[in-house]
Amino acid sequence: MPRYKMIALTNPVEGREDEFNEWYQNVHLPEVCATPGVVGAQRYRMAVPLQDPSGLGKKYLAVYDIETDDLRATLGAFAASPRTPSDAADNPSSYTVIFEEFGERVEG
């Protein structure tokens, strides 16, 4: 079965970081993971900015693991599913992209 990573780069509204993190971890992630084909998710916080030529400047990263034979159907189910919004999330500045697994994993 094909595997994908959905990458979401986000920021909270200024001054509402605690509320944003509570919502993202305890409401948003479980709602997204309830979508058939989304098998898990993990959040990350920027540790050290190395370089950002894109100017995205995002503080938070969420990586969603997707396993599906029909990515379009999975994305359709995701788009149609009810989700609880948060006004603590700076949604206009968020950036989301999906990558298909390609190549073998290399370990060191």
Question: Mind listing the pLDDT tens digit for each residue in 24-76?
Answer: 999 999 999 999 999 999 999 998 877 766 667 899 999 999 999 999 999 99
State which residues form the domain around 41.
3-100
Residue 57: inside a domain: yes
Residue 72: inside a domain: yes
Residues 61/44, Cβ–Cβ less than 8 Å: yes
Between CA 70 and CA 73 the distance in angstroms is 5
- Predicted confidence at residue 53, as pLDDT, reads 62
Residue 105: inside a domain: no
Between CA 22 and CA 12 the distance in angstroms is 11
- Predicted confidence at residue 49, as pLDDT, reads 76
- Predicted confidence at residue 100, as pLDDT, reads 98
Residue 61: inside a domain: yes
Residue 23: inside a domain: yes
Half-sphere exposure of 38 (CA within 13 A, CB side): 25
- Predicted confidence at residue 52, as pLDDT, reads 67
> How many domains are contained in the chain?
1
- Predicted confidence at residue 54, as pLDDT, reads 66
Residue 83: inside a domain: yes
Smallest CA-to-CA distance from 12 within 3, 23, 1 is with 23
Residue 46 sits in a domain whose CATH number is 3.30.70.100
Percent of the chain past pLDDT 90, that is, above it, reads 87
* Interval 67-95 mean pLDDT: 96
